[in-house]
Amino acid sequence: MCSRINYKTGNNEFITGRGMDWNDPTAATSLWIFPRGLKRDGAIGENPIQWNAKYGSIVTSFYNAATADGMNEKGLVSNVLYLAEAEYGDVSKSNKPTLSIGAWGQYILDNYATVNEVV
């Protein structure tokens, strides 16, 4: 299980820390910088969601495939936390566009500038 903690300073700034409890020595972590305008897809199922990145971002990834954490050019931060007991549903039982959990954080960073836009 991964965890995250936030601290709000007296100057209305936020400090964020996280624990990465993914125990796999082959899961190399990489740092990537992505420009706005990249064409993306949800990377799972027969009908993956597709989008063009509105915002550039800097992210950490694992397995050179999935976004774990990142920040976009507007300052929005995403932390994808792992819980072994989580269930994500069977994509074959839906006709809705699909989005891999490994692409979820990147989708948020690419498409939204604020938390209010996300929720």
pLDDT at residue 1, as a whole number = 64
- Per-range mean pLDDT, top range of 15-19, 60-64, 67-71: 67-71
Mean pLDDT computed over 24-46: 89
- What pLDDT band is residue 31 in, cutting at 50, 70 and 90? very high
pTM: 0.85
Nearest to residue 76, comparing CAs of 5, 16, 20?
16
Q: CA 37, CA 33: separation in Å to the nearest integer? A: 13
Mean pLDDT computed over 92-116: 92
Domains and CATH numbers, the chain: 3-117 (3.60.60.10)
> Of residues 2, 77, 101, 113, which has the active-site annotation?
2
Looking up tokens 């100057």 gives: 11
Question: Widest CA span of the chain, in angstroms?
Answer: 48
Nearest to residue 45, comparing CAs of 88, 109, 106, 108?
88
pLDDT at residue 118, as a whole number = 96
Q: Is 2 a catalytic residue?
A: yes
Q: CA 119, CA 117: separation in Å to the nearest integer? A: 6
Q: CA 13, CA 60: separation in Å to the nearest integer? A: 22
Share of the chain above pLDDT 90, in %: 50
- Which residues, at least 6 apart from 7, have a Cβ–Cβ distance to it below 8 Å? 14, 15, 16
